Amino acid sequence: MIANGVDHDTDPAAVVAVDGLTRRFRRGRETVVALDGVGLALYAGELTVAAGPSGSGKTTLLSILAGLDRPDGGRIRYGDRMGPLPTWRHLGFVPQSLALLDELTVRENIELPVLLDPAAAPAGDWSTDRLMELLEITHLADRYPALISGGEQQRTAVARAVRLRPALLLGDEPTGHQDRGRVDLVLGMLRGFAYAGHSVLISSHDEAVIAGADRVVTLADGRIVGDRRATYSPHSLPG
Ligand code: ADP
Ligand code: MG
């Protein structure tokens, strides 16, 4: 367990660190506490899975880290590799809704971050062609999202999220629409992305995904109730 007793807020090695994160929602007269004092630091080079039952706060945590929602309390500190503005260059996000643009083809959706920020386009292997090949969507390059399956749309959203090789990649159940074989395909790709020096946090309740993680952070009722690393992780703490 490392969730408690560490001053995440000043952890210089973290790509992002949060401390005392709280988020409440009003539902009629009730107040739902979606996050209840979450402290967590994420590092480059590892794939972390946020696990926990439905309603435990996974989506809320990811939305706040992605800058799409604001906490009611607590602090967020992004590391040096993250800019002041959350652009695709620093932060890739695969939302559960996928949020592909209907009027753009698969190829154009993946290229979108490059069009918005041409100076950020990294040289090297992770071209749109290479990503489509890795994620087995090359044959769909010129199709529109409405004319491909949910799983194919999801792999397109994954490719878009990693296109500019952001320091932090967030995915809300990014294998949720994949069949068994494709879960491993997407997971392997995300793991490779982490090992290339990026930080990856995805939510999942799929045992196969959890088993393939370097680190599993378990949420329950808006709190972190477990935080364990696979023994082979380079970030495993002694003891
Ligand atoms: P998970 O992704 O683990 O299923 P969520 O983060 O979506 O969990 O939800 C955590 C809790 O917060 C749940 O009780 C959920 O109903 C509630 N919640 C999330 N978003 C909202 C919202 N916009 N309005 C009201 N309640 C919400
Ligand atoms: Mg969710």
Residue among 60, 62, 72, 217 whose CB has most ligand 1 atoms within 8 A, to mutate? 60
Q: Are strands 73-78 and 91-94 parallel, antiparallel or unpaired?
A: unpaired
Tell me the helix, strand and coil percentages in the chain, rounded to 5. Answer: 30, 25, 45
- pTM (2 d.p.): 0.92
Query: 177 and 206 in contact (C-beta within 8 Å)?
Result: no
Residuewise pLDDT in 10s, the chain (239 residues): 344 444 444 567 899 999 999 999 999 999 999 999 999 999 999 999 999 999 999 999 999 999 999 999 999 998 877 666 667 789 999 999 999 999 999 999 999 999 988 888 777 778 999 999 999 999 999 999 999 999 999 999 999 999 999 999 999 999 999 999 999 999 999 999 999 999 999 999 999 999 999 999 999 999 999 999 987 666 655 54
Q: What is the pLDDT of residues 60-114, one digit of tens each?
A: 999 999 999 999 999 999 887 766 666 778 999 999 999 999 999 999 999 999 9
Q: Which residues contact 229 (CB under 8 A, 6 or more apart)?
A: 46, 214, 215, 235, 236, 237
If you write DSSP's letter for every residue of 26-53 in order, what string do you get?
Answer: EETTEEEEEEEEEEEEE-TTEEEEEE--
Give residue 58 CA to ligand 2 midpoint distance, Å. Answer: 5
Task: Name the DSSP class of 1.
Answer: -
218 lines ligand 1 (CB under 6 A): no
Spatial separation of the C-alpha atoms in residues 87 and 67, rounded to whole Å: 10
Q: Say if residue 137 is exposed, middle or buried (CB neighbours under 10 Å; 0-12, 13-18, 19+).
A: buried
Q: Are strands 46-51 and 215-220 parallel, antiparallel or unpaired?
A: parallel
58 lines ligand 1 (CB under 6 A): yes
Q: Which residues contact 194 (CB under 8 A, 6 or more apart)?
A: 44, 45, 46, 47, 169, 200, 214
